[in-house]
Chain A
């Protein structure tokens, strides 16, 4: 890839008068030696999976296997139909769709990891509600996914995108930054505005811990996806209005790495802290406790190979 940082995305796209989506497609073709048609087809298929997840969340039972979550996306969609929302219909619909996709995820339905499964509601929530609102073609939204992918590529390679590594800021936060930036480009904003949107969005999620109740991708993950979709729209609006991230967006990404690395492990997807360890969170966990598989018998057990060689691998 010709870029590793957001400022490079901006410089290259501005100099060559192309969108971030176009650059990402070209770089993907070059990097993987795959025809452009195949690359675009793959992304189009992913977009259809996202749409299907929204539809499923709106029309089918999304009760999770734990029974803790499900049905909130539907509830919100119904509420929007009935009257005036507090956050505005556009925000509320993005939120409803994001909840739908996250609920489908929690119920072991089909979703696309964007960038992870725990954060899979935000981009579809923002994209699909905006497509309905602005009457955009699928092709336009697929381009938006390439733009989001380019932003995620930068975040993932300079900081992190998994809750186990960097807390929920890395997971939901990255998705919000990706959705915000892509939304700016979809609305015709400049690459520079895209970059500012990412910084503005990420600043608002710094320090967000990953504290899943009972270790499940449900509470608070689903609700954070819904609220994240609204944050993404708001950050896109700021950037389109000309608001700049006073701290350059690449520096914000570096700060996310610093903050996430400093987080104690109990706040990084271990369910040992945060909401997971509230009295109610503990009760839920106890209620769900199932008999575990047998421990491997010591005589049959041997240490899996190459422990030392791979100890540095990412979590």
Chain B
């Protein structure tokens, strides 16, 4: 079933005028911000397909910026997001591209803050729902609907076993998991959609494991004030 529940039909509560172009865009911006882990100093956004063609009329640009500021889909500040970005010291550049993309409503978001840098490719797939296709050029398939753990780690034997056993000993079920690597023995990225939110203790234990480079939590239902983890 493409639509899973009643709130994928009634909802979300959102800033107009388009669930795909505005609500979905805000969610993609917010996921990118959570992936970076803080407010970006610089953002470069490349729009593809219908996003590139009609983003100005739909406020897609404002919604994306709003998301980067951690605004939820119905935050009243979205129409003035450019102003708030300036106040937050966030520099934003938009580009459009004619290259083929995973979906007609696709954006590539590149973010910088000090030494931190990250990228995300995601699409707004209808009714405000989104799908993230790439994080830092690693392939993923996440929706942000579930608390999602994203681990950067070395591509070594046994890393995933220790990660999953740490999670299972915390009593949290993994609903979906995807691993991708740049090269054998190189850097790898694992995304896990979980049935419950990870505790601070679980994150601490995961962080202390050998070969784990970094962990982020992506969760659209998470409170808007939470920052880097």
Chain A residues packing against B (C-beta within 8 Å): 1, 4, 24, 27-28, 31-32, 39, 42-43, 45-46, 49, 64-66, 104-118, 120, 123, 145-146, 148-150, 152-153, 156-157, 161-162, 164-165, 178, 214-218, 271, 288, 290, 292-296, 301, 303-307, 309-311, 313-315
Contact = CB atoms under 8 A, between A and B. Distances in A.
**A-B pairs with lowest CB-CB distance, top 7:** A105-B16, A152-B9, A149-B6, A293-B94, A217-B17, A310-B102, A305-B134
Contacts of A293: 47, 93-96
Interface of B: 1-20, 22-23, 46-48, 50, 53-54, 56-59, 62, 74, 76, 78-79, 93-106, 108, 121, 123, 125-128, 131, 133-134, 137, 139
A304 B101 contact: yes
B133 A305 contact: yes
Contacts of A271: 54
Interface of B is mostly: mixed
B51 to A, nearest CB: 11
7 contacts: A43-B6, A148-B10, A214-B57, A216-B17, A293-B95, A295-B98, A304-B106
B136 to A, nearest CB: 10
B16 A111 contact: yes
B126 A288 contact: no
Contacts of B78: 108
A120 B96 contact: no
Contacts of A65: 59, 79
B127 A46 contact: no
A110 B76 contact: yes
Contacts of A45: 13
Contact of B16 (A27, A66, A117): A117
A68 to B, nearest CB: 10
B184 to A, nearest CB: 19
A268 B10 CA distance: 22
A106 B11 CA distance: 17
B97 A216 contact: no
Given A292-B96, A296-B95, A314 B2 contact: yes
Contacts of B121: 304-306
Contacts of B108: 304
A117 B17 contact: yes
